[in-house]
């Protein structure tokens, strides 16, 4: 028996040894397949080209008919890649709208965005802000789509994966010798040293309260506050827009400038995709030629579980260390030796960290009695539970036509979902999702936004090409994969952390002539117009996912600004990489009191602050100027009567507070407090309604029988709302009369004139008379 036991133990160790070697095996062919999925995939290519056509078609008939053809635009754009669409408004004014064609290159679309933004700023109208937001969102989506197609078109021509990546790299790291010559001092080492020395000098002095804000905003605040383009990151000068693009290219942040962070849910899908492709090009030989390091595309990374995403990242980034799922990622990250990691890996660490927070926020935000999913659940189970919750059908579910989605807004109408073809369409169908987003997103409620974000999340997590477990990446990666003499630059000298910080500083502080810079506008808006002193108090309970109806979406580049500001504003960013600086700041997350600088950089919180600002500063004017025009005059009068009666609400409290002191009349029971009587009446109506008798419980005992007979004969008339006031009048009148029949009250009326009656009794009398006059207008 002993020998048999030893054989079994030996056999188990042998299996472990074999599996360990199999797990640690890296196959360059598997790496190539991962890359081909995003460069050669026909399905992805068809989806992207289909999306491109949909966006262009939408731009043709968009409500914001800009940009309009004019001589300067015709000279600025390469019109061979654009079409002119003529619109006749009321058969009088003819508008020639310029729209890109599918042949337009990325540089054409960048210029097109410039002229569109120029004309939008020049003709901005707050009443059309929703349409403007949608227009800019579509342009950003078209630009990102074109960027994703660049390596696919290049591979289709050359059949060379490396050249296809180089084609995309040329867009993100353009040659800019002319810009460097024109602004040699502004980009020099001495220029930035002078700025740092100035700031250090301010720190050493006993600074006034506004010393640091003066560095940012300057001396003249009034100019910025009076700026007509405060909602936009730039002004209407195209040369200045081009200058910002050149600055981004010079400092290696063109990827962030072109792709941006968009809305928070889209940040991870777009920006992470390009960062991974940049990493693939920088380490092409290690990934795809020698197979020294395992490679995963961004879609595959996100399809893993939250903890496995970090394991995948460490494997790709050549990090050695032991992964403990019970230890916080922050602790593991700061312990490991990451000196040999790549710059892109630090950005990916940031993106994965916030994607995990995004996923967690969505799961907790949607968690309820009928949908008890949790963060660690299998991705297929999360998707199935979500479809079951929305449609009660895990195989055929269009959330936009589900009862739950439609019940959130009465104006929402479903597409024709009865046909077999429609039922067979995937929940992630490109056209369906695009249609509802572009046509209905301004009508979305907070729950609609949550449902749409969760649908996108399930699509990202599912990765329909198949989600493998993380068992094949448990082994520590091979050392020295980063020290290869064949490594080429591909913009690496530009995209260093130091250049990144200098680029962001120059980018957000650049200004055209006397107009305010991006940072000045943002600082002024937050601290002077909204007047936020402590942002953390506003944002502690807000969600991570972002709504679309947001003042920042007047210019989608505000999201780029927020991302760049967040990446470069960590306390230790000067000494540490982005990942380390982030996790060092996040130590504060172990405590309950979180700060805005460590966690809350999302636009939602600014939206909340803006809402509070409007509520406190502008609400009265909004009611007087806007809301009165939207309400019926009779409704306004009824509201005024309600407000007038509420001035006497104290008399209701008197009936409640002193009811025990009131003596009942002969052969009468002591009355209950009025609030209890009214509450009981509503409870009776509620129980009656659950039995099908609506909310009115009439005194006539034959009422229920009559209702039943009328219902069967289709002659049923639902009771009108005004009858509620009639029924409640009976209880309220009885309570007042009981009070006025008290001995001490009657004696005052009979023996003294009204001049000597106490204010309390006069208030009761005035309230009662006011109620009898206006009871039909009182809303409970």
Digit-coded pLDDT (tens) for 547-594: 555 556 678 888 888 888 888 888 888 888 899 988 888 776 555 444
Preceding amide of 67 cis, omega within 30? yes
For residue 695, the Cα-to-chain-centroid distance in whole angstroms is 40
Integer Cα distance of 409 and 141 in angstroms? 27
Q: Which residue has the tokens 């654009």?
A: 82
Is residue 322's pLDDT more than 70? no
Q: Which residues of 186-222 are buried (b: 16+ CB within 10 A; e: fewer)?
A: ebeeeebeeeeeeeeeeeeeeeeeeeeeeeebeeebe
Integer Cα distance of 714 and 367 in angstroms? 42
- Quickly count: other Cβ atoms within 10 Å of residue 551's Cβ: 18
Q: Which two tokens stand for residue 390?
A: 């929305």
In terms of Cα–Cα distance, which of 371, 377, 374 is closest to 305?
377
| pLDDT higher at 14 or 526 | 526
pLDDT at 243: 92
Q: Which residue has the tokens 């305010």?
A: 516
Task: Render pLDDT for 447-468 as a digit per residue (tens, 0 to 9).
Answer: 888 888 889 889 888 874 333 3
- Quickly count: other Cβ atoms within 10 Å of residue 321's Cβ: 14
Which residues have a Cβ under 8 Å from the Cβ of 346 and sit 6 or more positions away? Answer: 497, 577, 578, 579
Integer Cα distance of 282 and 288 in angstroms? 11
Q: Examine residue 244 and state whether it is found in any structural domain, yes or no.
A: no
CA angle 308, 310, 315 (to 5 degrees): 95
Integer Cα distance of 594 and 587 in angstroms? 10
Q: Are residues 379 and 357 in contact, defined by beta-carbon separation less than 8 angstroms?
A: no
Per-residue pLDDT band at 472 (split at 50, 70, 90): very low
Is residue 19's pLDDT more than 60? no
Which residues have a Cβ under 8 Å from the Cβ of 394 and sit 6 or more positions away? Answer: 383, 384, 387, 388
Rounded to an integer, the average pLDDT of 655-659 is: 71
Q: Which residues of 404-428 are buried (b: 16+ CB within 10 A; e: fewer)?
A: ebbeeeeebeeeeeeeeebeeeebe
Q: Tell me the residue length of the chain.
A: 780
Phi/psi of residue 486, nearest 5 degrees? -85, 0
Least confident of 16-30, 104-118, 734-748: 16-30
Rounded to an integer, the average pLDDT of 34-55 is: 92
CB-based burial label for 433 (10 Å; 0-12, 13-18, 19+): buried
Q: Which two tokens stand for residue 475?
A: 């082994």
Integer Cα distance of 414 and 410 in angstroms? 11
Instruction: Return the SS3 of 127.
Output: helix
Instruction: Return the SS3 of 43.
Output: helix
Q: Are residues 419 and 396 in contact, defined by beta-carbon separation less than 8 angstroms?
A: no
Q: Examine residue 303 and state whether it is found in any structural domain, yes or no.
A: no
Rounded to an integer, the average pLDDT of 381-404 is: 88
Is residue 215's pLDDT more than 60? yes
Dihedral, 218, 222, 226, 231 alpha carbons, nearest 10: 40
Provide the CB-side half-sphere exposure for 722 (13 A, CA).
Answer: 5
Instruction: Return the SS3 of 99.
Output: strand
Integer Cα distance of 736 and 741 in angstroms? 9
Is residue 599's pLDDT more than 50? no
Which of 137-146, 558-567, 767-776 shows the highest mean pLDDT? 137-146
CA angle 187, 497, 581 (to 5 degrees): 135
Q: Examine residue 474 and state whether it is found in any structural domain, yes or no.
A: no
Task: Render pLDDT for 77-104 as a digit per residue (tens, 0 to 9).
Answer: 999 999 999 988 666 678 899 999 999 9
Per-residue pLDDT band at 386 (split at 50, 70, 90): very high
CB-based burial label for 47 (10 Å; 0-12, 13-18, 19+): middle
Q: Which two tokens stand for residue 726?
A: 């009639």
Per-residue pLDDT band at 340 (split at 50, 70, 90): low
Which of 98-107, 521-530, 702-711 shows the highest mean pLDDT? 98-107
Element at 97 (helix H, strand E): strand 93-100
Task: Render pLDDT for 523-546 as a digit per residue (tens, 0 to 9).
Answer: 777 766 655 554 443 343 344 445
Q: Which residue has the tokens 């605040």?
A: 221
Q: Examine residue 224 and state whether it is found in any structural domain, yes or no.
A: no
Integer Cα distance of 258 and 416 in angstroms? 38
Which residues have a Cβ under 8 Å from the Cβ of 353 and sit 6 or more positions away? Answer: 329, 582
Strands 82-89 and 93-100: antiparallel
Q: Examine residue 598 and state whether it is found in any structural domain, yes or no.
A: no
What proportion of the chain, given as a percentage, has pLDDT over 70?
Answer: 66
Q: Which residue has the tokens 């991705």?
A: 379
Domain coverage including residue 655: 642-777
Q: Which residue has the tokens 């042998």?
A: 14
Is residue 289's pLDDT more than 60? yes
**Mean pLDDT over each residue of the chain, to the nearest integer:** 76
Q: Are residues 671 and 661 in contact, defined by beta-carbon separation less than 8 angstroms?
A: no
| pLDDT higher at 614 or 633 | 633
Q: Examine residue 754 and state whether it is found in any structural domain, yes or no.
A: yes
Per-residue pLDDT band at 705 (split at 50, 70, 90): low
What proportion of the chain, given as a percentage, has pLDDT over 90?
Answer: 23
pLDDT at 596: 43
Integer Cα distance of 711 and 718 in angstroms? 10
pLDDT at 744: 72
pLDDT at 600: 45
Integer Cα distance of 728 and 723 in angstroms? 9
Is residue 438's pLDDT more than 90? no
Q: Are residues 278 and 172 in contact, defined by beta-carbon separation less than 8 angstroms?
A: yes
Q: Examine residue 734 and state whether it is found in any structural domain, yes or no.
A: yes
pLDDT at 535: 46
Q: Are residues 579 and 334 in contact, defined by beta-carbon separation less than 8 angstroms?
A: no
Task: Render pLDDT for 182-203 as a digit per residue (tens, 0 to 9).
Answer: 556 567 778 888 888 877 777 7
Q: Are residues 775 and 729 in contact, defined by beta-carbon separation less than 8 angstroms?
A: yes
Integer Cα distance of 717 and 156 in angstroms? 69
Task: Render pLDDT for 395-426 as a digit per residue (tens, 0 to 9).
Answer: 888 888 888 888 887 777 665 555 555 556 67
Q: Which two tokens stand for residue 659?
A: 């009811």
For residue 487, the Cα-to-chain-centroid distance in whole angstroms is 39
Overall domain count for the chain: 1
pLDDT at 268: 57
Which residues have a Cβ under 8 Å from the Cβ of 30 and sit 6 or more positions away? Answer: 294
Q: How far is CA 760 from CA 706, 757, 763, in A?
A: 46, 8, 5
Is residue 692's pLDDT more than 50? yes
pLDDT at 317: 86
Q: Are residues 45 and 152 in contact, defined by beta-carbon separation less than 8 angstroms?
A: yes
Q: Examine residue 673 and state whether it is found in any structural domain, yes or no.
A: yes
């Amino acid at each position: 028996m002993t020998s048999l036991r030893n054989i079994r133990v030996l056999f188990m160790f042998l299996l472990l040894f074999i599996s360990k070697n199999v797990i640690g095996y890296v196959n360059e062919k598997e790496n190539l397949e991962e890359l081909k999925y995003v460069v050669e995939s026909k399905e992805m290519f068809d989806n992207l080209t289909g999306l491109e056509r949909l966006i262009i078609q939408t731009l043709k008939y968009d409500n914001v008919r800009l940009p309009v053809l004019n001589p300067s635009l015709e000279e600025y754009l390469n019109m061979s890649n654009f079409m002119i669409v003529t619109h006749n408004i009321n058969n009088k004014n003819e508008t020639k709208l310029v729209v890109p064609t599918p042949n337009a290159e990325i540089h054409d679309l960048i210029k097109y965005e410039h002229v569109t933004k120029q004309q939008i700023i020049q003709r901005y109208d707050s009443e059309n802000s929703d349409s403007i937001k949608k227009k800019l969102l579509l342009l950003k989506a078209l630009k990102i789509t074109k960027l994703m197609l660049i390596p696919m078109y290049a591979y289709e021509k050359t059949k060379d994966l490396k050249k296809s990546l180089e084609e995309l790299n040329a867009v993100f790291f353009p040659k800019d010798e002319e810009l460097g010559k024109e602004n040699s001092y502004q980009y020099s080492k001495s220029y930035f040293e002078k700025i740092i020395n100035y700031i250090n000098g301010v720190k050493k002095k006993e600074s006034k309260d506004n010393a640091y804000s003066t560095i940012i905003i300057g001396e003249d605040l009034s100019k910025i506050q009076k700026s007509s383009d405060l909602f936009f990151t730039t002004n209407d000068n195209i040369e200045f827009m081009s200058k910002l693009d050149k600055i981004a290219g010079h400092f290696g942040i063109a990827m962030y400038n072109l792709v941006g962070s968009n809305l928070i849910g889209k940040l991870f899908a777009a920006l992470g995709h390009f960062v991974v492709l940049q990493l693939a090009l920088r380490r092409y030989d290690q990934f795809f030629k020698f197979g020294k390091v395992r490679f995963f595309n961004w879609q595959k990374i996100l399809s893993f579980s939250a903890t496995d995403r970090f394991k995948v990242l460490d494997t790709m980034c050549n990090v050695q260390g032991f992964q403990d799922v019970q230890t916080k990622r922050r602790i593991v990250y700061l312990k490991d030796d990451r000196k040999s990691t790549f710059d892109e890996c630090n950005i990916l660490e940031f993106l994965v960290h916030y994607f995990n927070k995004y996923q967690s926020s969505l799961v907790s935000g949607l968690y309820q009695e009928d949908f008890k999913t949790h963060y660690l659940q299998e991705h297929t189970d999360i998707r199935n539970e979500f479809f079951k919750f929305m449609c009660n059908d895990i195989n055929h579910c269009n959330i936009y036509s589900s009862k739950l989605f439609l019940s959130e807004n009465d104006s929402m109408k479903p597409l024709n979902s009865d046909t077999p073809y429609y039922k067979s369409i995937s929940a992630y169908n490109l056209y369906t999702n695009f249609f509802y987003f572009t046509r209905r997103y301004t009508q979305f409620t907070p729950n609609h936004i949550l449902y749409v974000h969760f649908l996108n999340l399930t699509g990202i997590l599912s990765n329909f090409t198949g989600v493998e477990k993380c068992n094949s990446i448990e082994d520590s990666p091979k050392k020295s994969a980063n020290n290869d003499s064949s490594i080429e630059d591909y913009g690496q000298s530009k995209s260093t952390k130091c250049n990144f910080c200098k680029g962001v500083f120059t980018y957000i502080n650049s200004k055209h002539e006397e107009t305010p810079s991006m940072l000045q506008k943002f600082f002024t808006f937050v601290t002077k117009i909204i007047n936020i002193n402590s942002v953390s108090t506003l944002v502690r309970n807000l969600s991570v996912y972002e709504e679309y109806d947001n003042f920042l979406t007047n210019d989608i580049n505000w999201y780029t600004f927020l991302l760049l500001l967040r990446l470069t504003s960590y306390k230790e960013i000067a000494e540490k990489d982005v990942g380390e600086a982030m996790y060092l700041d996040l130590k504060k997350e172990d405590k309950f009191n979180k700060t805005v600088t460590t966690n809350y950089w999302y636009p939602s919180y600014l939206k909340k602050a803006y809402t509070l600002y409007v509520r406190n500063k502008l609400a009265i004017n909004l009611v007087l100027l806007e809301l009165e025009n939207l309400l019926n005059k009779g409704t306004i009068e009824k509201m005024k009567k309600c407000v007038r009666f509420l001035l006497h609400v104290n008399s209701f409290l008197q009936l409640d507070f002193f009811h025990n002191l009131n003596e009942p009349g002969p052969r009468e029971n002591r009355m209950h407090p009025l609030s209890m009587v009214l509450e009981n009446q509503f409870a009776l109506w509620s129980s009656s309604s659950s039995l099908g008798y609506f909310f009115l419980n009439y005194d006539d005992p034959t009422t229920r029988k009559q209702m039943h007979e009328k219902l069967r004969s289709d002659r049923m008339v639902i009771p009108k709302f005004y009858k509620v006031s009639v029924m409640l009048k009976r209880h309220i009148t009885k309570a007042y009369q009981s009070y006025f029949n008290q001995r001490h009250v009657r004696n005052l009326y009979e023996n003294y004139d009204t001049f000597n009656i106490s204010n309390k009794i006069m208030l009761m009398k005035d309230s009662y008379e006011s109620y009898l006059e206006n009871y039909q207008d009182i809303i409970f």
